[in-house]
Amino acid sequence: MAIFQNQATITFGGVTRASNITTGEIVEAVGIVKTATPASYTPGSRITYVVNIRNTGDTPLTGLTVTDDLGAYETDGEIIERITVVPLTYVDGSARVFTDGAEGPAPTVTAGQSLTVTGIDVPANGVTTLVYLADANEYAPLGADGQIENTAAVTGPGVTGEVTDTAVVTAGTAADLSIVKSVNPAVVTENSRVTYTFEVQNTGAETTAEDNVVIHDTFSPILTDLAVTLNGTPLTPAQYTYDGTTGEFATAAGTLTIPGASYAQDPATGVWTVDPGTATLTVSGVI
């Protein structure tokens, strides 16, 4: 939007007189709306960005350029000098352009520390949509306060200055568990004791609810004289179930709580690392 003013004069008989001042307003004909799906991310997750460019004017716009800063931000710099890092990586070949719903030719894309898409046309009183994919990389902030805020800008003939819009996605905080099972010894004599170890890791920020995590297993061969520990502390028979005829084992609801992960950003490189929350369950018995 821009305000303009002008004034006329009239000259007669060597006299000049001025008119009143008229004031008008120019409303920008180009507007954009940028959205992101999904609204949250985890390390390596893929995000779809949609930029809708609307032309409310009566003249078609050609040769426009869309740039995206891919969420570039400065590290906090509390320990060493601030550095700029880019938390999104454009997925090569993913950009598509649709004009009034119909897909057009593949656009010209330059990607690196930022994304530039050139040669975009928007018809009069029409909408052109740019769609592209980006992956959350090692610079994407993690934890409860993590977010990626990135801005798209449209410039070109017929556009006054640049028109921008910003999309924000937040770091996912839900618990995310994985489990690794091992056996010791790997070679065991019959009628000897063997120990199964279950290492559980949580890379999510949230601690698991106590009644949501249950470990199931069916031991074959069937074990006898069972002994079960959690993080080195023996469990009571009330904290697990075991069927000595089938070998079916399960921890009781409420027994396992896996703490949330912690996150840190290297001040020198800007890379985020995850220190998972862990729990270790052991089950030993005689084969």
Provide the pLDDT for residue 77.
66
Answer with the one of 149, 171, 193 that is the final residue of a domain. Answer: 171
CB-based burial label for 75 (10 Å; 0-12, 13-18, 19+): buried
Confidence band for 274, pLDDT divided at 50, 70 and 90: very high
Looking at the structure, tell me whether residues 138 and 40 fall in a common domain. Answer: yes
Q: For 137-150, write each residue's pLDDT tens digit.
A: 999 999 999 999 99
Host domain of residue 212: 177-286
- The answer to whether 25 and 2 have CB atoms below 8 angstroms apart is yes
Give 100 or 182, the one with higher predicted confidence.
182
Tell whether 6 is covered by a domain: no
In this predicted structure, the answer to whether residue 73 has a pLDDT above a threshold of 80 is: yes
Q: For 213-241, write each residue's pLDDT tens digit.
A: 999 999 999 999 999 999 999 999 999 99
**Helix-, strand-, coil-residue percentages of the chain, each rounded to 5:** 0, 55, 45
Tell whether 2 is covered by a domain: no
Task: Specify the number of domains making up the chain.
Answer: 2
CA distances from 264 to 75, 138, 141, 259 (A): 12, 11, 9, 16
Provide the pLDDT for residue 80.
66
CA distance 11 to 19: 11
Provide the pLDDT for residue 25.
60
Task: Give which of 149, 150, 144 is closest to 172, Cα–Cα.
Answer: 144
Looking at the structure, tell me whether residues 42 and 162 fall in a common domain. Answer: yes
Amino acid at 220: S
Looking at the structure, tell me whether residues 34 and 167 fall in a common domain. Answer: yes
CA distance 18 to 34: 47
Q: For 112-137, write each residue's pLDDT tens digit.
A: 999 999 999 999 999 999 999 999 99
In this predicted structure, the answer to whether residue 93 has a pLDDT above a threshold of 90 is: yes
Provide the pLDDT for residue 212.
84
| Span 190-201, average pLDDT | 96
Looking at the structure, tell me whether residues 36 and 154 fall in a common domain. Answer: yes
In this predicted structure, the answer to whether residue 3 has a pLDDT above a threshold of 90 is: no
Looking at the structure, tell me whether residues 206 and 82 fall in a common domain. Answer: no
Provide the pLDDT for residue 239.
97
Looking at the structure, tell me whether residues 56 and 130 fall in a common domain. Answer: yes
Give 19 or 250, the one with higher predicted confidence.
250
Using a cut of 0.75, tell me whether the model's pTM lies above it: yes
What DSSP string runs through 214-243?
--EEE-SSPPEEEEEEETTEEPPGGGEEE-
Tell whether 267 is covered by a domain: yes
Give the CATH number of the domain where residue 107 resides.
Answer: 2.60.40.740
Handedness of CA 95, 97, 101, 104 (dihedral sign): negative
Looking at the structure, tell me whether residues 216 and 278 fall in a common domain. Answer: yes
Tell whether 12 is covered by a domain: no
Answer with the one of 171, 195, 217 that is the final residue of a domain. Answer: 171
Tell whether 14 is covered by a domain: no
Provide the pLDDT for residue 100.
87
Tell whether 105 is covered by a domain: yes
In this predicted structure, the answer to whether residue 111 has a pLDDT above a threshold of 70 is: yes
Q: For 23-61, write each residue's pLDDT tens digit.
A: 866 556 799 999 999 999 999 999 999 999 999 999 999
Tell whether 114 is covered by a domain: yes
Answer with the one of 122, 154, 171 that is the final residue of a domain. Answer: 171
Looking at the structure, tell me whether residues 118 and 197 fall in a common domain. Answer: no
